[in-house]
Structures are given as structure tokens and as C-alpha cells.
Structure 1
Amino acid sequence: MILGTLSLTNFGVYAGTQSIDLAPADRKRPIILIGGLNGSGKTSLLTAIRIALFGKRSIQFHKEQGSYERLLRRFVHDNAQGEASVALSFATYNLGEREDYGICRSWKAKSDGKVQEQFEATRNGLHDQVLTTTWDDFIDALLPASIAHLFFFDGETVGEMANAEGAQSLLRTGVSALLGIDMLDRLNEDLAFLIQKRSKESQDSETKAKLASLEQDLQDLARQKGELESEKATADEELAALTVRFTEADNRLKETGASLFLERKSLGEELQSAKTDFEAVQAELVELAAGPLPLALVPDLLADVREQDQKEQQALQSNLILDVLEQRDEQILSLLTGTPEASIKAISSFLQGDREKRKQLASEEVYLHLTPEAQELLSELDEVLKQEISKAGELVVRYEQAEERLRNAERKLAMVPPEANVADVIQQRVKVQKDVQAAMDRCTNLAKKVEQNAGIITFRQAERDRIIRRLGAAQVEGNEGARIVRYANKARTILDAFSGRVLERAISNLEELILKSLEQLLRKEDYITGLHIDRGSFALTLRYRDGQELDLDRLSAGESQLVIIAILWGLKKASGRPLPVIIDTPLGRLDSHHRDNLLQNYFPDVSHQVVLLSTDTEVVKEDLPHLQPYLDKSFALEYDSEKQVTTITQGYFHAG
């Protein structure tokens, strides 16, 4: 299946008729990237596709579960006088032959609150009345509504499911719907009903009463299930609305400065800490300045001191040896008796010149009088100053950082408003926060009740089945009803065995597919070496490289989300259905490392057609080079806040 053009007429924020081509032109480039800020109609595109394909059944994909009519009314543009429509084209291949389909679902909201809907389907450009009438059956053969959430999903929902319970629930529903286990269960139920119906004649009063009681219990439980699910849907809707209100209250808190007021204690502590750090660095600098460091400012004077000390040392040495040299020279000349006179004069002249030089050195003024210790310090001063200058550089950097931190702390504390100015805003946020927590508790309690209800239904069905099997075994031979019951019982026995084998084989295959998908996503060699899906509860257990079991809740938030995505990917592979993948908010709350894993290892390979609905903070400019080799086309949703209308333009936030 390849999605083609999606046309929206007065749908949500899309006024008039606007179209977007979702079909990739190049098989090697399966990705279609659509960018839009929050509120620009990004999610509305996914909703439009679901409504077009599934009609009334699309309501199951919405947290705001209510009536289908309410959903349609909600997505009529304000200026459309109650009329809207969505149209979608797509292509499929059957034995190598391409077939093109087109569907259009339009509706009009009447003054009495009711909604009138029309649906039309075409095949290869021609209206097809049979296809129009039997559309639900046709689309279920191609893309059953029960598994659509595995192919068209929200990245935020993946984040919410990133825990052990979420993975368990996803596996339970995915295996049942995607691999046909639910059909086997329905067949088993139908056979049980047939046995019960055919066995009524041989039932004693006690058995009849027991079966009647069980049937009544199951009916009551089914009704209770519907009520609980409806109540939970309402609670989910209330929680979503309260969450929006809390976000708004939180934003007002920041806008008014009330958030700073709430943080005033920590801001005061931060200011004190910044002052302490600043004063400590300042003291270190003062201590450093009290040492030899200032001498680094006068390198020329230090050079003069060294030169003068050298001259003084030479003068002292010359004064000490002048008298000795005169006596030595006289003795040398006296030893030259008999030597030619010219030679004696030359030697005498040399010795006298040497003494004159030394006399000149000895006449140098001596005023430093450096001690040996001072001379040693002077010789080591260059290395000491080098170390002191390096330390000073580090302290200056720390001083500037401490000073900046101190200024920021003082600035934030100065921005704290008086309590009287923000008391109402704070009180309102606290109230909404309590309401949100109460709604979350209610949703949690209702979810537990739904689970308990499902468990009781399973128990009652098993109890009823035991009685029915006992009745079937007690039937008298030769009776037509008995023959039917006998074969129905055999069929159920075979069906149970078949279901078990199908489930075992399907889960074993699914374990391999999910593990392979997870390895591609995590890109950590031998990090997770195996996984196991419990055949009864569908609980997922991972195996670490050393063979130890690794619970999903022990993984990081990013790794847990990748596990959920690996499950979705594995289920898609197991289905064997060539279906497109649409992901709203594709990167959710993932960190940069796990974002890169999805960009490079998941999006390019998950399907032959991948539609990404992203904000500008998810797929950012730096991510585009990773997607570019697989990107066929991109669009931007430009929202005009004054007209409250979104326009579809070419290029991802003007980047392509």
C-alpha cells in the first residue's frame, strides 16, 4: 500500500481545499518530512487519514473518546458553515498489477447537532458502488483498524508506553490483532455457544441454572467493561484538558515571575554560594599577588639586577686577586733573565694590561651586596614566575566565572516579584496541579478496574467452558444434536492446540524480529543479547550480555522508548504487510544519541513509505544531513495566527 494525495477541505485549521502528495517518487528515498509548530495542524493530517480510511472506527485512536459525530464536528473549520471533507488516494499491487484507489469522506453538521456523512470509493478512476458499500471489509483485508496503531502512531504515546506495563500491553494487543489470534478466540467462543445451545435438552436444572448465572455474569461484566472503558475515556479526556490548563498555568507562572518567587529560597542559597565562591577566588588572587608574581611586571628591571650582580661579583673577585697578580707578574718577569728583551717587553705589556682590566672591574660601584641565598632565588625566579603566571591565568578564569555567576544570581533575585503580585497565579497553579494529580489517580484506578474486569471475564469464560465440555462429553450417541456437540468439542480441542502452537511459533518468531530490530536501534555490541516474551502474560524480559535478566524499567528513558519502537518494528515485520508508516512527533523526548539512532537506523528502513510529522525542535537543521539520502520531499505547515489558518508549503521550515 502506498499513500498518495491527501486533500483536506475545511478540515481543522485547513481552510478551503489544500492537498499534499505523500507518495515518494524514488523507492530509495522513502521518507516524506512534514514540519509544523504546535497547533499548526500536524496531528490533524494523521487524524484526517484515519477518518478517511476507518470512518467511525477512527474514534478508537483518539484520547478524547466520545461520539464519532463529535469528532467530525470538532474538525470542521470555523468558517466552513458546518461542511468539511477529507479525500485520500492510494495504490496497491496484486500479483504485480497496480490498482489505484480513491476515497472521499464528507460531512455536514446540521443545526440540530447531528452530522450527515457521505462516503465514496473509486477504483482505477471509476466510481465503485460495491467497494463503497463494503469499504470496511475491504480496508480490513488491507489494513485492519485493529492494527492501524502499529503503523500510524504518535511518538509521545511511545514515550508514555516506555515501561514494562506498556510493552506488555502492546505485545498482547499486537500479537492478538496482527497475527490473527483474536480470530481463533472468536471462533472458539462461537463453538462454545453452539455446544451450549445444542446441549440444552440434556441439561439438568442445576446445570441450566449455573450456565444461566454464568451467562448473566458475562453479560453484566461485558456491560461493566463498556461502562468502565467509557468512564476511563472520559477520565483520559479530562486529564488531557487539565494537562493543557496546567501548562497554561505554568506558562503564566513564568510570564509573571511567580516561578522565581517560588524559587526565592533556592535563589537566595544560590546567591550565597556564588558569593562564597567569588570571595574564595578573590582571596586566592590576593594571596598570589602578595608573592613574587608582581615581579613579572618588571622583566627589564630583573634583567638589570642580574647584570649588576654579575658585575659586583667580578669586582669582588678582582679586588681579591690584584695584589696577588702583581707579585705573580714580578716573579714571572724575574724568571725571564736571558730572554730576548723584545719578548720580555711583550710579556710585561700583556700582564700589565690584564691587571688594568681587573682594576677597572674592581672600580665598579657595589650597592646590591646580594647574599648567596638571594642569588639562588634570583636564578630560580624565571621558573617560579612562569608557574605563578599560569596559576594566575587559571584564577582569572575562575574569577570571571564566579563573578558572572554572582551577577546572574543577584539579577534573578532582584527579579523576584512581591508575594502580593503573584499570589493568585501561584494559587491557581497549585489548584490545577492538584486537579491533574486527582485526574491521574482516577485514570490509574480506572485502568486497574478495567484490568480486573478483564481477568474476571476470563475466569468466568473458563468456568463456563468447563461446564460446556462436560456437557459435550455426556451427550448420548445417535442424536443429531449430540453429534454436533461432539464434533464441536473436538473442534475446540483441536483449536486450542492449534492456537497454542500458532501462538508459540508466532512469539518465537517475534522474539527474533524484535531482538534484531533492537540491535539495529541501540547499536551497542552485545549490550542486549536476548529477550523473552511470556506466552501467558506477554511480559517482556531482556537478557544482558552476561546472561542476567534485565527488566525494562531498569533501562534509561531513551532506551525504553527504543524498546517500544523495536516492538512496533518487530510486529510490522511479523505481519508481512507492505504498509506505510506514519509517525507524529517522531523523536518525542529522546536525547541526541537515541535521536541519531532513529534518524540513521530506523526511519530509512522501517517501511517503503515513511511520513514524519515533526516540530522544529525534533528534526532540527543538524539532523537533515542524516535524513537527506532517504528524503524524497518535505513540506512545512505555515500557521497564520490572525486568520487561524494553516497553509501547506514546499520545504521543511524553508530548509528544503
Structure 2
Amino acid sequence: MIFNYIQFKNYRPYYGTQEINFNTEKQSPGPFKANITLVGGKNGHGKTSLINAVFICLYGRRMFSKEEYDQFKSDAINRNFYREGGRESSIELSFSDRTGQYVIEITFRENDKGEVQEIRRIFVVAGDLLREATTSDEEFNAFIDQRIPIDVAPFFIFDAEKIKDLVGEHDSSKTVEAIQKIVSLELYNQLHSDLSQIKYTTELNLSKSVKDKDLEKLIAELEACANELESLKAKERPDDLKIEYLNEEKNRLNQERRRKLANSSVTKGQIHRRVGELENELDKLNKAIESFDKALPKLILKPLVMELQKAIRKEQTYLSNLNRSQALFAPFDKFITDMLSKQVNPPLSLEQKNQLTESGRETWSRINKVQEIKVEPMNVLHVNDLSHNELQGILNWSPNNNFNIADLITKRARVEAELKTLHEQINDAPEVIDTHEEDEQIAKISEELGALYTTRKSRNETLRKLQDQHVRLSRVLTESRQKRQNLGPVEDKINLMTKLIGATREFINRVTVLKAERLKVEIENIIIQLFRKKDLHRVEFSPEEFVLRIYDDADVEINLSSRSEGEKQLIALAMIWALTKVAGTNFPFVIDTPLARLDSDHKSNLVNRFFTNLSDQVIILSTDTEITKDFFEEITPFVQKSYLLEYNDEIKSTEIVEGYFFE
């Protein structure tokens, strides 16, 4: 699946008709795959509106809370267009897959009551024509979820600074279910469940139809076992829903706890640590500025020495050309000198001798095919008065020119200002952040979850025993009927279903282990490619829990939540890349601000190893401070098209133009 284009008509910041073409089918002239569409824009210029527009087209209200979606609708019409009397805006998203090309159109229209209504339509592209496909909401949702299911969409369309939260929540039930769906395990489990249900239903129907007195007791036991199985399975769903609810509440409390820690004033301990870091930085800056003083005399002498070097080289060139010219015409000079020294009568005048010398020189050059070197006379002031070592010393002299004293002084002023502010904040800073209430609620939920998991484990054990008993009774019943030569097509079906269910379970177990092992290998390889550090030594991916664990070089498990924001972002991206490789999917990726928290080495690794191999289509939304001029030049060979979101202060709207900040 690939996106072809997205078009806005007076939608939010986009005034008039604005379009981004994602699929130009650019042919790369070199060894690079041009799979990246780069969209640049400063903060507040429309990047978030663009990525939310993709979600709105594909998933509508399902992707957002009611409050968020109502806000999107109320702000859907561009304000400048609204002041001009316009009351309608739209988004149009085109995509293609193996079944054809489609266009989704979302129109927001304000009615007479001032309410904004949403109209959703989908078209099938047939040549140059669009044919509207009439679908209900359920059919449309199923159509989209067959391509990118809603619960896996955040793995392919995301804000890179928020995707790091995946590392802290990688063991949550929603994340595990989404990962299993991406690698198709959920589909296999559903197949096994459906087959089991068909078998149970067939056996129940068979038991009801058989009235042989010799088998009544066995049939009654089989019915009782099947009914108990159904009763226990009916209890699974409420408990699963409660577990899901409690996990969501636990995640919400954890997020609230993290938000409180992030939004609260920093503690005194944090301020003291920051003060120590800044004081060390200030000490280094002062030493660097002091070293500049020692280099100052050389910097002052630099222009004078460079002028002297230039003069010496010019004199050397003159003497070299003069020597070459004299060497070329040495035989002629000897000949003409000897000839003119002879006595002739009448004697030749000086002018006649000069004329003979010049004419003879030209004739000698032509006969011997010698190109005369024109040497302009000049005064030699330095070369003849200096030794060889003195000349080489002057020519090789070069001052250390690596100092940027203005930057150093600016950095020192910034560090000193921050130190002053921190010293002022120390007295007002709290000792610790109070998360006691959230911690108590999380502990209570964890205890309740533990009880539910214990109950579920006990019930699963009972289910397993009942299933074994059901299989045994079914086998005995079948054997009894075989003895009475009463087997028919229904019994054959049950036997076949039993074998098929067993084969399916074995297949699921093996595929689960295989997928987990492949994920482990892929994540490990990708982390080695993306990370500069070597302390992420070993990766494990549990086939039972489908949870990522990373160990250091001492084989101690690393607490992923404690890693830096940039490292968590890279680990999350590594998981996503590994999932796409294991699943064999080729979804389009839309990534907002992917490089903001990374240093230059990790940025380069992402550009050259991650984005270029992630998918056939990667759409990157970036600011000018994130993908700088240097990284823009590095990423350019992989870019099939670039756009810039330019904000017009006069009309308070954004225009989409081709190009990027530095083009």
C-alpha cells in the first residue's frame, strides 16, 4: 500500500487548494532508493494538522476521543476563508494497493445552526474517472482495517517523540496484542478458536441426534463436559474485559504520574546535579578562552606572514622561469657571443648587434622548435638573502585557526545566566515530587490484576482438563460407534476436525517461537546498527509474553524506562523496523519529528540505515532545526520529493510549496 497524494481545500491552516504528491515514481540515478518524501515546516505551520488529517481520512472518529474530534470539526474550516464567507473545507487522500487505486474524501460543512457536519465518501479510480463506492460505516472500517488495522496504525503513522512511550508500555496488553496482530499471530489464534468452536458445535449436535440406549450415559457425560466448557468460556470474556480496563487504568495512572513528574518543578537534588554539570562546562569554556590568549600573537601576525609567503612564492616562480629560459637558449647565447666578438670591417654598431641577436634568437627558436618563456623583469628582495631552511620555515608557517572566540564567549554567558537562574531556584524547589496517591492506586490495581490473573490461570487449568476429558470422551464415543459400525460423515468430520485442531495448535506454537526468535534477531541486529553505545549487549523476546528485554554486557536486564529519551526513541524505532521485517508488510510510514532528540551520529544512522530500508514509502515531517542543512545534504539522495509548509502572517494561513528550507 502506498499513498499517492493528500489535498486540502481551506482545511485548518491550509488556505485555498494545497496538495502534496507522495508518489512521483522518481528514478534514482545512483545506487540510492529514493523512498522518502520530506515535508518541512516550523512549529505551528501545519505538520500536526497534516498527520491528523491522514488519521481522520483512514479512521475518523475511531482514532480520537470525542472531545478531540469535536474540536477538529469545529476548527476544520480555514479562518481566512471563513471570514470571506466560506463554510466548507475538505481533505482528499489517495492511496493504491494490489486491488486498485482509491480516493477518500472528507468534507466538513457548517449548517445554518452553526454546526459543522462531516461527510465521508470513498471513490474507486477507473482510468481518468472516479466511481463512488457506497459503503456503510462498518464496511468502510473493515475496508481500511484490512489494509492498516486501527490498533497497529500508531506503529506506522506517529510522532517520533511520542513513540518512545512504546518502550515504557511495551508489555501492556494493547501493545502485545498489536504486535501479535502485525506478525499475524492473532489470525492464527482466531483460526484455532473458530475450528474448536465448530468442533464443539458439531459434537453437541451429534450427541443430541444419537439416541442409542447403549451410548446414552457416554453422550450425557459428553454433553455435561461440553456444557461446562461453554460455561467456563462464557466467564472468560468478562474477566478479560475487566483485565483490559484495569490495565488501561493502570497505564493512565502511570502516564499521570509521569506527567506530574515532568510538569512539576525540578527538585533540589536535580537542580544541584544540573549546577554541577554547568560548572564543569563553565570551567572548560574558561580554559578554552585562556588558550585563545596564547594563540593571539600568531593570529595578529597571520596577514603579514601570508603577504610575505605570497611575495616569496612569486620570486621563486620568477627565478625558476628565468633559469629555464637561460637553460633553453644557452647554446644560442654562446654561439652569438662568439660570432659578435669577431672583428669585421667596417665594425658593427651596437644597434646592429642587437638586431642580429634578436633575429638570430627567433630563427634559432623556430629551427630547434623551442618555445621561448616570457619573463617579466622584477627585483628579487627575499629569496637570495634567505637560507633554504629559513625559506621553508616561512612558507610552512601556519597559525592555529580553530578558535571561534565569539561562540565561546556566547556559550559562557549562556551557562553563567543559567547558573544564576538555578541558584535562584534552589530555595523554592521541592525536596521530592509527591506521587503517593498514584502509587497507592497503581499498587491496588496491580493487586487486583494479580488476583484476576490467578483466577484466569486456575480457570485455564480447569479448561485444559475439561478439554482433555472432552477429547477422551469423544474418542471413546467414536470408538464405540466404530465398533457398532455406525460411523457416518459427521463422525468423519469430527475426527478430521480433531486432527486439524491439533495440527493448528502445533503450528501456532512453532510459529510463535519462530516469530519471537526472528524478532529477537532483527531487533538485536537493528540496535547494533542504530546505537553508538555498546552497553546494549543482548536482546531477548519472550514467545510466551511477547515482551522485549535487553541486557547489558554483564548480562543484567536493563530498565528500558530509565534510558534517555533519545535511546527510548531509537529502541522503539528498532522494534517497529523489526516488526515490519518479520511481518513482511510494506505499509507507508508517516513520521513526525524523527530526529529531534538525537545527536549527529544517531541521526546519521537513522538517515542511512533506518529510513532508507524501512519501507517503499517514508514520509518525514521535520523542522529546520531537526534536519539541518548538513543532514539535508546527507538525506537528499534518498528523497523523491520535498515540500515546505510556509506560513503567511498576513492571512494567517499555510501554503505548501515544493522544496525545502535549504534549497
| 2:148 is the alignment partner of 1:149 | no
Deviation at 1:89, TM superposition (A): 1.2
Give the gaps of 5 or more residues in structure 2. 29-33, 209-219, 291-402, 482-486
2:121 counterpart letter in structure 1: F
Q: Deviations over 1:445-466 (max 9, x none)?
A: 7689779867865664554354
Q: Deviations over 1:545-594 (max 9, x none)?
A: x8x64634389634554333222112212222333221112124222321
**CA spacing shift, 1:75–1:518, aligned 2, 3 Å:** farther
| 2:613 is the alignment partner of 1:605 | yes
Contact 2:278/2:419 (<8 A) preserved: no
1:499 counterpart letter in structure 2: I
| 2:652 is the alignment partner of 1:650 | no
2:44 counterpart letter in structure 1: G
Work out which of the residue numbers 114, 131, 155 in structure 2 matches 1:127. Answer: 131
The aligned residue for residue 183 of structure 1 is 187
Report SS of the residue matched to 2:598: coil
Report SS of the residue matched to 2:514: helix
The aligned residue for residue 466 of structure 2 is 467
**CA spacing shift, 1:417–1:564, aligned 2, 3 Å:** closer
Contact 2:173/2:247 (<8 A) preserved: no
Work out which of the residue numbers 209, 231, 235 in structure 2 matches 1:217. Answer: 235
**CA spacing shift, 1:188–1:610, aligned 2, 3 Å:** same
Q: Deviations over 1:376-402 (max 9, x none)?
A: xxxxxxxxxxxxxxxxxxxxx9xxx99
The aligned residue for residue 2 of structure 2 is 2
Contact 2:89/2:107 (<8 A) preserved: yes
Q: Deviations over 1:101-153 (max 9, x none)?
A: 22213355776989554222222332142678844444344333343333223
Give the gaps of 5 or more residues in structure 1. 60-64, 254-258, 283-396
1:495 counterpart letter in structure 2: T
The aligned residue for residue 551 of structure 1 is 557
Q: Distance in 1 between matches of 2:272 and 2:531?
A: 42
1:533 counterpart letter in structure 2: F
The aligned residue for residue 586 of structure 1 is 594
The aligned residue for residue 35 of structure 2 is 30
| 2:518 is the alignment partner of 1:509 | yes
Contact 2:121/2:132 (<8 A) preserved: no
Q: Distance in 2 between matches of 1:448 and 1:237?
A: 19
Q: Distance in 2 between matches of 1:88 and 1:440?
A: 44
- Structure 2 counterparts to residues 200-239 of structure 1, below 5 A: 202=220, 210-211=228-229, 214-225=232-243, 227-228=245-246, 231=249
The aligned residue for residue 636 of structure 2 is 628
Deviation at 1:177, TM superposition (A): 1.0
Q: Which has the higher helix share?
A: 1
Deviation at 1:157, TM superposition (A): 2.9
**CA spacing shift, 1:623–1:438, aligned 2, 3 Å:** farther
Contact 1:585/1:615 (<8 A) preserved: yes
Contact 2:157/2:591 (<8 A) preserved: yes
Deviation at 1:628, TM superposition (A): 1.7
TM-score normalised per structure 2: 0.60
Deviation at 1:204, TM superposition (A): 8.0
- Structure 2 counterparts to residues 402-441 of structure 1, below 5 A: none
| 2:497 is the alignment partner of 1:491 | no
Contact 2:106/2:118 (<8 A) preserved: no
- Structure 2 counterparts to residues 266-415 of structure 1, below 5 A: none
Report SS of the residue matched to 1:189: helix
The aligned residue for residue 527 of structure 2 is 518
Deviation at 1:181, TM superposition (A): 1.0
Deviation at 1:627, TM superposition (A): 0.9
Q: Distance in 2 between matches of 1:550 and 1:267?
A: 31
**CA spacing shift, 1:513–1:487, aligned 2, 3 Å:** same
Deviation at 1:171, TM superposition (A): 8.0
**CA spacing shift, 1:172–1:35, aligned 2, 3 Å:** same
Report SS of the residue matched to 2:614: coil
Contact 1:637/1:646 (<8 A) preserved: yes
Q: Distance in 2 between matches of 1:533 and 1:612?
A: 29
Report SS of the residue matched to 1:586: coil
2:638 counterpart letter in structure 1: Y
Deviation at 1:538, TM superposition (A): 2.6
The aligned residue for residue 103 of structure 1 is 104
Contact 1:541/1:550 (<8 A) preserved: no
- Structure 2 counterparts to residues 67-106 of structure 1, below 5 A: 70=70, 73=73, 76-77=76-77, 79=79, 84-93=89-98, 99-106=100-107
Q: Distance in 1 between matches of 2:450 and 2:114?
A: 38
Contact 2:275/2:422 (<8 A) preserved: no
The aligned residue for residue 300 of structure 1 is none
Q: Deviations over 1:134-193 (max 9, x none)?
A: 444443443333433332232123322346x63787984455112211012122223344
Bigger radius of gyration, 1 or 2?
Answer: 1
**CA spacing shift, 1:639–1:224, aligned 2, 3 Å:** farther
Q: Distance in 2 between matches of 1:217 and 1:410?
A: 65
**CA spacing shift, 1:594–1:126, aligned 2, 3 Å:** same
Q: Distance in 2 between matches of 1:177 and 1:513?
A: 18
**CA spacing shift, 1:462–1:45, aligned 2, 3 Å:** farther
Work out which of the residue numbers 42, 57, 75 in structure 2 matches 1:52. Answer: 57
- Give the number of equivalent residue pairs: 502
Q: Distance in 2 between matches of 1:404 and 1:482?
A: 87
**CA spacing shift, 1:588–1:439, aligned 2, 3 Å:** farther
Q: Distance in 1 between matches of 2:12 and 2:445?
A: 31
TM-score normalised per structure 1: 0.61
The aligned residue for residue 166 of structure 1 is 170
Report SS of the residue matched to 1:166: coil
Q: Distance in 2 between matches of 1:472 and 1:582?
A: 49
1:473 counterpart letter in structure 2: R
Q: Distance in 1 between matches of 2:117 and 2:465?
A: 47
Q: Deviations over 1:34-82 (max 9, x none)?
A: 22333333122222112212335434xxxxx457854753662474688
The aligned residue for residue 391 of structure 1 is none
Deviation at 1:203, TM superposition (A): 5.1
The aligned residue for residue 500 of structure 1 is 509
Report SS of the residue matched to 1:578: coil
Contact 2:40/2:622 (<8 A) preserved: yes
**CA spacing shift, 1:17–1:567, aligned 2, 3 Å:** same
- RMSD (Å) for aligned C-alpha atoms: 5.3
Q: Distance in 1 between matches of 2:437 and 2:647?
A: 35
**CA spacing shift, 1:450–1:123, aligned 2, 3 Å:** farther
2:124 counterpart letter in structure 1: T
2:656 counterpart letter in structure 1: I
Percentage identity across paired residues of the two chains: 23
Q: Distance in 1 between matches of 2:548 and 2:276?
A: 47
Q: Distance in 1 between matches of 2:597 and 2:603?
A: 9
1:551 counterpart letter in structure 2: E
**CA spacing shift, 1:621–1:269, aligned 2, 3 Å:** closer
Deviation at 1:598, TM superposition (A): 0.9
Contact 2:89/2:109 (<8 A) preserved: yes
